Chains A and B, each alone.
Chain A
Amino acid sequence: MKKARASLKKNITEYARIYGISVLAVASFAGSSARAQMVAAEPAPNLTAHMFDMGGLVTTGAVTAVGGAAGGGIVPWALIGGYTTKDQVGGTAFYTHVFLRNYQLATYGGLFALSNRVELSFAHQSFQLGSTGATLDGKIFNALGAPANTPESVLPHALRLDNVNINQDIIGIKVRLYGNAIYDQGTLIPQISVGYEYHHNENSSFTRAIGTRPSGSEYYIAATKVWLNGLFGHYTMVTATLDATNAIQNGLLGFGGVGPNGPKTGYHIEPEFAVGYWLNNNLVVGGEYRFMPHYQVVAPGNVPGYGPLGNALSKTSDWKDVYIAYFPVKYLSITLAYADLGTIASEKNQNGVYLSATSSF
């Protein structure tokens, strides 16, 4: 047993030396945290009751994406959060909790909106591994050929995952470049905004252990079109966003990845889509789809032992959700969603209920 431990430690250290990374399994977690952002980080305009409020007509001001920006659950929209006009400031605060099959994602944050032009946002995400962390440790041992019952303490501290929370902070800025989604009617021209998000993963020893960077940047351009007299005469919204990112699971598993010749940090451009349909002035239903980039973590797939482990932890799925948002009043929204984040850190079918509340002021 002692011998097995010593050899596992040696393996890990050696690999870390060769590839300049600390190995293991954590990579898959990161993926989930990235999407966690979806839950909390993007303060969306209030989806609900008065999406647009021509000053309050449409309940758009009170919904927030996980990244903190105004938007849906996982996709930032071109709308500026809150209900500000060109001579006002405002903001929103939100809390989102996602109950996945193996994990939970808790996110809180808020945004400041200036003159319906600029949105400054913040979100803190906590991706909770729970008892699945121990399962992941078992998978790591298994991949490294350690005998059953090998104690967790054999693993480097950064890879002891039982009940670990992976935390991420996201700050963002969004600027409306063109158009006004509410006032521009009778034309196909959308409201267009550009955004930037800086992500910082607090579990840097974990991200380094799986060969990813603890912080990264995302750049996006979003177009949102709202028809006040849309399908069957109801408010109807379509958003298309292009996101340049190297975040793995939205940054929960870090940024960049490993390549055959060392770290690989190249950006991927991924599209994101959202639709919303107002059943009445207080109730919005819709769906979102976010394509996710794929990065290899831990080690290249052809490295014996570590490669297969890396392949398993690297698996990333597109994020999607269907939601219903209720605006009891213009300044408050409660969103219930069913989110499907796919495979995160080798655990498949990470879907479940998403609950979120946003208040605007």
Chain B
Amino acid sequence: MQKNLITILFVLGVLLTGTAQESGSVLIKNATLITITDGVKEDTDLLIKDGKISSMGAGLSVGSEVKVIDAEGMYVMPGIIDAHSHIAIDAVNEATDPVTAQVWVGDALNPFDVNIYRALAGGVTISHAMHGSANAIGGQCETIKHRWGVTDPEDMRMKDAPRTIKFALGENPMRVHGEGQSIVPATRMGMEQVFRNSFEEGKAYATAWKNFASGKSKTPPQYSLQKQTMADIIAGDIIIHCHSYRADEILMLMDVLEDYGVNKICFQHVNEGFKVAPELAAFGAHASVFSDWWAYKFEVYYSTAYNAAILAKNGVVTSINSDSRELIRHLYHEAAKSQKYGGLSDEDALKLITINPAIQLGIDDRVGSLEKGKDGDVVVFSKHPLSIYAVPQYTIVDGVVRFDINEDPSDMRLDIDPEEAIPTFMEKTEHNHDDSCLQDVQGHFSHKH
């Protein structure tokens, strides 16, 4: 009880001071370091100084002001990165149009979402907050750091992370717009046209502004954030993350992108990726998959738990994602499943939730491995993270301990509604497998019988 109150006061203190991007220093002693990019170092210390990994070695020491964690017998790995998530945002789908490239979930960040803290408890330090899959070209996404305790949405952003955007293929956009609105795209043929039209518009828009700048045309074209965004994709400023299942539509999108000179793409879900792994590798496309989740709708029946391993062994940069506020809490189990089925090495299995998603988000120069100079985002496990007995003990973001299993009060709310009734019991209202990709669009299905 006493401990709880102290922690609550600490949290409130953070709330009141409205910390700017806070970084800290921590020394972790005598741990087994799983560096991901440079093997495993036993009985080694790791020092994070002012938010960055400053050294790894034996017998490191610091002044008394720096927090020291004795991690003897424990394992330290880079903070887990989830390349597909919808936590910490107040809106997921602007499901009113097949193309909403102009919207941005970074506008709806919610630092008070307790799922951030729960993800930290699963060792996840970064997630890719994505627009949903209702539209062919959905909104732009945001790469966030799980700095639980900050109240300014700005402080959640991973500054300078590349821009990303959600695309979606197949049934979801066809159902929402083709069936729901009786407009294109009603079929997979229509899907391709939506992409081509939008890229054409983006191209023409960029030319129109170029002509105005050069004086070739006297008056400015009408401003359009949507077309501007398409132009930015063509210019290579935005990484596409595309919701996809079937091999044929995956090949289709790569064809379209090739025609517009776009090559930054990560296919999401990509359950039939194993069928086109060599083609994905040749294109340089990435894949972010579930370990063993499928058959939740018709287009996702043909699938395998060997998907991640097949993709990885074919040279496709592959990650395992959650797409769920529940699954995000045990991505290390999901990585272990891929290892069990596909026979990946420990390192390759852990790459699926660290350096590989970092590459897919364009942030691998800063996170995803234990390297000097990288961000101090690490998680301390009680056992090897691929062991079913492993439990995260500390999750550290920028050198700040954001989760400590020994200081884990039950009431972690940051924003309290004074009129809210205090719940004395919790009713189970969440699905086990909530497809949050289609959050905010229930209304569009209400008449589908």
Task: Determine if chain A interacts with chain B.
Answer: no
